[in-house]
Amino acid sequence: MQPNLHDTDRLSWLEQQVHLLHTGRLDALDIEHLTEELEAEMGNERRELYRRLRILIGHLLKWHYQPEQRSASWAGTIRVQRKDILKLLKGSPSLKRFIEEEIREAHQDAVDLASFETGIDTANFPTDCPYSVDDLLNADYWP
């Protein structure tokens, strides 16, 4: 059995699938792999939201719990993550329904990040995220 182009050259396979769509040759589409790719892309959007929330929450915790160490670098990271999260939500508004869950998921990893980078024991950070969605996305909120 000859290997599927999807398995040997993903970019060529994607180009082929786009060409088939553009030319209306729907019967020739690789439906199985297209479905897998679309499902993976949905997961990628959520993972991107999670990663950005993890970094944002981690830096807000550092900002909050180690005020004497505040720096332009920390502030810059907070600003960039906020802007990128808002851009992500603007491009995929349906992600908003997952944001509370992703905040809960990202919080513990954010605590680990803040603890590692500050030397503050994880037990000194809150168990649940102390920042609301509005706090996290508000450019004027600095704990």
pLDDT at residue number 63: 97
- Using one digit for the tens of pLDDT, what is the confidence trace for 26-84? 999 999 999 998 888 888 899 999 999 999 999 999 999 999 999 999 999 999 999 99
Query: Residue 110 — very low, low, confident or very high, per pLDDT cuts 50/70/90?
Result: very high
Q: Which structural domain range is residue 126 located in?
A: 5-137
Mean per-residue pLDDT for 84-90? 97
pLDDT at residue number 5: 85
pLDDT at residue number 101: 96
- Measured CA to CA, the distance from residue 11 to residue 134 in angstroms comes to 39
| Closest alpha carbon to 106 in 60, 139, 73 | 60
What is the number of domains present in the chain? 1
Report yes or no on 96 lying in a domain: yes
pLDDT at residue number 1: 54
Report yes or no on 30 lying in a domain: yes
Half-sphere exposure in the Cβ direction for 114 (13 Å, CA): 31
Mean per-residue pLDDT for 112-136? 97
Report yes or no on 18 lying in a domain: yes
Report yes or no on 143 lying in a domain: no
Burial of 57 (0-12, 13-18, 19+ CB in 10 A): buried
Mean per-residue pLDDT for 114-124? 96
pLDDT at residue number 128: 97
Report yes or no on 142 lying in a domain: no
Report yes or no on 80 lying in a domain: yes
Record the pTM.
Answer: 0.82
pLDDT at residue number 40: 86
- Measured CA to CA, the distance from residue 38 to residue 139 in angstroms comes to 33
